[in-house]
A and B are shown apart, each in its own frame.
Chain A
Amino acid sequence: MDLILYEAQRQGRISFYMTNAGEEAYIGSAAALEPEDEIFGQYREAGTLLYRGFTLDQFMNQCYSNDMDLGKGRQMPVHYGSKALHFQTISSPLATQLPQASGAAYAIKRSGKKNCVMCYFGEGAASEGDFHAALNIAATTSCPVIFFCRNNGFAISTPANEQYKGDGIASRGVGYGMHTIRVDGNDVWAVYKATQEARKIAVEKHKPVLIEAMTYRVGHHSTSDDSSAYRSKKEVEDWKRHDNPMVRMRKWLESKGWWDEARENAHKATQRTAVLKSFAAAEKRKKPAVSEMFNDVYDKLTPNLIEQKKELEELIKKYPAHYDTSNYAKEN
């Protein structure tokens, strides 16, 4: 899915994309959660949503900003969200989701549900003030929340050694009086096990937990970035070869006799076909109705928005060639 959407951006078919390559082991954290545990993501955790059952069509519809996009075409690609899957919609600003996760966890605790909140972020985002605010308030108000840091070594171009001087992100959890664990973020089982234990602490003891998963961002930051400007291709290739979560998982499965090259190839081919099918279908669909621009600013249209919507309708009527709406769905 990453490969095809990345290429689609290079061909100008979608406007933007961010890959997950190198960090796929975070999927282990999704596996350790219950379906109703609420997720607050950053933007490089598409796998958790995939694990929860977000369909290929839903991914593609969002990236194509078409009329089936749950976000109604308003946000850039990879800004997924699904109420049904308990995955709060992604926003681009960094670390803003962390204190929100604390608040959400507090609400869950008060509701009496045996659930927790899972909050993902990167080591770069951990430099934001919101990170510190979030951990402290979660600790002081005893929130059932897991803060999951994907320490992938880079915040766009800035390497971790220019991001912090202390002992990673994990050491900060201790400072806030939180249970903290650092795991090999390229070992899916280590991530799974750590999350499982963290969840127990969060749900049963109503205490926040910080997990720092050490990994490596194999891809560029986004399609707007060319990482060869700040790191060597050899470094990236070495990581891909020597410590890649996909390779490690595959080797483990092969050693158990549960997987082999034939199955790998067959699986890849089936997945590729499914992704391409979904991709083609999403590309064909129209964009959401233009009127969707004005909805959801508030629960109901306010007088200024009603007036502006009318103004736009009249403009479109008067200049149909300039304001070509043929690629947009009709208003319901």
Chain B
Amino acid sequence: MAHWYASGSPPPAEGFLPGVANSQLIKHTHHDALRNPELAGVANGETKKMNTFQAINDAMSIALATDDTACVFGEDVGFGGVFRCTMGLAEMFGRDRVFNTPLSEQGIAGFGIGMAAMGSTAIAEIQFADYIFPAFDQIVNEAAKYRYRSGGEFNVGGLCIRTPCGAVGHGGHYHSQSPEAYFAHTPGIKVVVPRSPIQAKGLLLASIRDRNPTIFMEPKILYRAAVEMVPVGDYELPLGKAEILTQGKDLTIIGWGAQLYVLENAIQLAKIKMPGLSVELIDLRSILPWDVETVCNSVNKTGRLLIAHEAPKTQGFAAEIASTVMERCFLRLEAPIQRLCSFDTPFPLVFEKFHVPDMIRCAEGIERAMKF
């Protein structure tokens, strides 16, 4: 936290994440961006420099332009949203399609469910993931079970709930949480977390258009910190599919969202101690349903697994991954699965740097896995 206490100016609301700008995971050039086979559909198109909130804005703009039933709504979205994700959309598409709601998360979620039940596309914003819990009942008991309980008569596949999540350096209890595991315990919804502008745009468009209710959790620290050359065209990235970011043979490392940049640094650090270390780094992307096949294939190859996330350890999503890998790769495992997570306390403002699984803790985890 000292980095902004000493800086002489206030911290940006969305926080800093040093290292993202120079990350190898970020696609800095047009050529770099389009090398991805998942982007084959837009391979001949243009790219444009965008940060994450601009890429999210672009995705919503395309969703609104290509689907007359689509609406974007939530608290303060009318003037562009507190993180600027909906900037200009009300002016472009009209205030009957992009509008402020009263301050009521359960109302926003229920309203979205109703729209989706009528076949419309509802893109709802919950201002912070920390404030999604009044909507928990609507999401868990209603959205998730709408199709199942009606025997398939009805569904709310057109619902996508966007919500900013994660640590920013100064958010304390209620502007820092990563509640993906609560929702991952709910059959019937999909949960997605992007790591970068290109990913955010493609995954958000897929989440909006997917025929199942989706929770799209946006690591808010990446809104400005991550900048990529993003295809300007209409493209989707697959839900339920992880992405292997670097191929490796010694150790599989899984993360999602902003944690991937911490892991990238941790791997660099570990390589100083262990030259030649070969790591397979995987972005899980979809938390529910998650890509068991890609993960288990990787662990069967490497024999070692480390999972890192910002949410507390106990009952975090790493636990689910670890037990599935245990079931499926038991005989191939050469070391205990390492879980690097926040400590089991509420998110503490002034202790944030000690609370989260930072570069050092992740590097220590790599060493434990390799030296077992």
Contact = CB atoms under 8 A, between A and B. Distances in A.
A76 B175 contact: yes
Interface residues of A, number: 54
Given A74-B350, A157-B78, A13 B173 contact: no
A297 interface: yes
A230 interface: yes
Nearest to B104: A127
A9 interface: yes
B350 A156 contact: no
Contacts of A10: 9-10
A215 to B, nearest CB: 17
B364 interface: yes
Interface stretch (A19-27, A88-96, A103-111): A88-96
Contact of B343 (A16, A74, A130, A308): A308
Nearest to A67: B350
Interface in B102-155: 102-107, 130-131, 133-134
Contacts of A288: 350
Nearest to A309: B343
Contact of B103 (A155, A287, A292, A323): A155
B350 A12 contact: no
Contact of A158 (B13, B78, B346): B78
A297 B79 contact: no
A100 interface: no
A130 B4 CA distance: 36
A317 to B, nearest CB: 12
B76 A156 contact: yes
Interface in B352-372: 353-355, 360-361, 364
Given A10-B10, A124-B103, A323-B360, A74 B172 contact: yes
A76 B170 contact: yes
B69 interface: no
B344 A128 contact: no
A321 B80 CA distance: 41
B346 A327 contact: no
A322 interface: yes
A3 to B, nearest CB: 15
Nearest to B99: A162
B53 to A, nearest CB: 14
B345 to A, nearest CB: 5
Nearest to B355: A293
Contacts of A297: 344-346
Contacts of A53: none
A215 B127 CA distance: 25
Interface in A167-218: none
B230 to A, nearest CB: 25
A17 to B, nearest CB: 9
A305 B314 CA distance: 11
B107 A127 contact: yes
Given A156-B75, A158-B103, A12 B5 contact: yes
B100 interface: yes
Nearest to A126: B103
A82 B80 CA distance: 37
Interface string A247-288: 000000000000000000000000000000000000000011
A128 B134 contact: yes
A304 B342 CA distance: 12
A250 to B, nearest CB: 31
A129 B104 contact: yes
A322 B343 CA distance: 18
Interface in B50-97: 75-76, 78-80, 82
Contacts of A230: 79
A80 B337 CA distance: 41
A224 B82 contact: yes
Nearest to B174: A92
B75 to A, nearest CB: 6
B11 interface: yes
Contacts of A293: 343, 345, 348, 351, 354-355
Contacts of B36: none
A95 to B, nearest CB: 8
A315 B356 CA distance: 13
A106 B11 CA distance: 42
Contacts of B350: 65, 73-74, 287-288
A294 B76 contact: no
A319 B360 CA distance: 8
A119 interface: no
A75 B173 contact: yes
Given A155-B76, A158-B103, A312-B354, 4 more contacts: A12-B7, A92-B173, A93-B174, A155-B103
22 contacts: A11-B10, A15-B1, A15-B349, A65-B349, A74-B172, A76-B171, A79-B172, A91-B173, A93-B133, A93-B134, A127-B107, A128-B134, A155-B103, A163-B103, A223-B10, A287-B350, A290-B351, A293-B348, A293-B351, A302-B344, A304-B344, A315-B360
Q: Which 3 residue pairs across A and B have the least CB separation, nearest first?
A: A73-B350, A92-B174, A127-B102
